[in-house]
Homo-oligomer: A and B are copies of this chain.
Amino acid sequence: MTQGNCKTDIKASLVACFGNHFSGVKGAHHFLEELSINADSVSLEANEYLFKEHDTCQHFFILESGAMMLERSTASGSRQVFAFLVTNNLLGITESAHYSYGAKAITCSSLIRVNAKLLRNNFKKFSAVAKRYNDITGRILSLTLDHLFIMGQLSAHQRLAHFLLDIEQRINSDCPHFMLPMSRQDIADYLGISLETTSRGFSKLKNEGLIKVQGNSQITLLEREKLCEYSVL
């Protein structure tokens, strides 16, 4: 893990993370100023951990570039992936003093690191920040509930179709096709199914002409409508 002090774009990333509307909010300017002074950047290689489960949490992070994942592992070696993160996503939100999940870089990534106490102390000065932070936590909760719903109600192939639609939206590239940064195993652990079932899912969607797959990770969604139908109960 490399650390740096390059302040360039730190403020821009904070704005991007806290939302477009935020910069107009009362006190936002001062808040960003204060935060960016005390922020620094972190770089990670692929497969490197930003933090592990049970680590003490003293910072929160904003992902500037790359892709990361949040995961929890069992003693027996199985793993649940909670989320995949892309540019401008916030990570490190937790209610206890220790993380209940680990954060691992999928690709080479760079992040902005902010002292968590500094953020919380700003609640007093800038109530708008508290609201905004609440919104973000609430949004994460909402996404987690969606994930939970998927896991409880959809079949393996439906989960995969849903995942592809979801990830396309989040990566939001301008080209019609996109690249999956994570492995089949990562996807399997995210969806709570086996590696093989995931692979079969890709093959099935490919054979039915709903998606195109090039070189394992270049994906094109050919029939978005049908994928939607497919991923709904």
Provide the main secondary structure of the chain A interface: helix
Given B123, B133, B137, B192, which contacts A151 in the complex, CB threshold below 8 Å?
A: B192
Q: Determine how many copies of this chain the complex contains.
A: 2
Known contacts A123-B127, A192-B152; A138/B80 CB under 8 A: no
Q: Are A141 and B95 in contact (CB under 8 A)?
A: yes
Binary CB contact string for chain A from 15 to 33 against chain B (1 if under 8 A, 0 otherwise): 0000000000000000000
Which residues of chain B have C-beta atoms less than 8 A from A148's C-beta? Answer: 80, 82, 144, 147-148, 151
Binary CB contact string for chain A from 117 to 143 against chain B (1 if under 8 A, 0 otherwise): 000100110010011011111111110
Q: What is the CB-to-nearest-CB distance from A22 to chain B, in angstroms, rounded to a whole number? A: 14
Known contacts A74-B153, A93-B138; A123/B133 CB under 8 A: no
Known contacts A127-B130, A130-B123, A131-B120; A78/B141 CB under 8 A: no
Given B75, B95, B232, which contacts A139 in the complex, CB threshold below 8 Å?
A: B95
Q: What is the CB-to-nearest-CB distance from A39 to chain B, in angstroms, rounded to a whole number? A: 20
Which residues of chain B have C-beta atoms less than 8 A from A96's C-beta? Answer: 138, 142
Closest to A151 in B: B151
- Tell yes or no: A101 within 8 A of B by CB: yes
- Tell yes or no: A203 within 8 A of B by CB: no
Binary CB contact string for chain A from 58 to 76 against chain B (1 if under 8 A, 0 otherwise): 0000000000000010111
Q: Are B152 and A100 in contact (CB under 8 A)?
A: no
Which residues of chain B have C-beta atoms less than 8 A from A131's C-beta? Answer: 120, 123, 130
- Tell yes or no: A175 within 8 A of B by CB: no
- Tell yes or no: A94 within 8 A of B by CB: yes
Which residues of chain B have C-beta atoms less than 8 A from A133's C-beta? Answer: 134
Which residues of chain B have C-beta atoms less than 8 A from A152's C-beta? Answer: 80, 151, 189, 191-192
Provide 11 A-B residue pairs closer than 8 Å at the C-beta atoms, listed in order of the A residue.
Answer: A74-B153, A74-B233, A75-B232, A78-B233, A80-B153, A95-B136, A100-B142, A130-B134, A137-B138, A137-B141, A151-B192
* 9 A-B pairs with the lowest CB-CB distances in the bound complex, closest first: A95-B138, A152-B192, A130-B130, A124-B127, A74-B233, A151-B151, A80-B152, A123-B127, A95-B139
- Given A75-B233, A95-B141, A148-B148, 9 extra CB contacts under 8 A: A72-B149, A76-B233, A82-B148, A95-B135, A95-B142, A96-B138, A123-B131, A134-B134, A141-B141
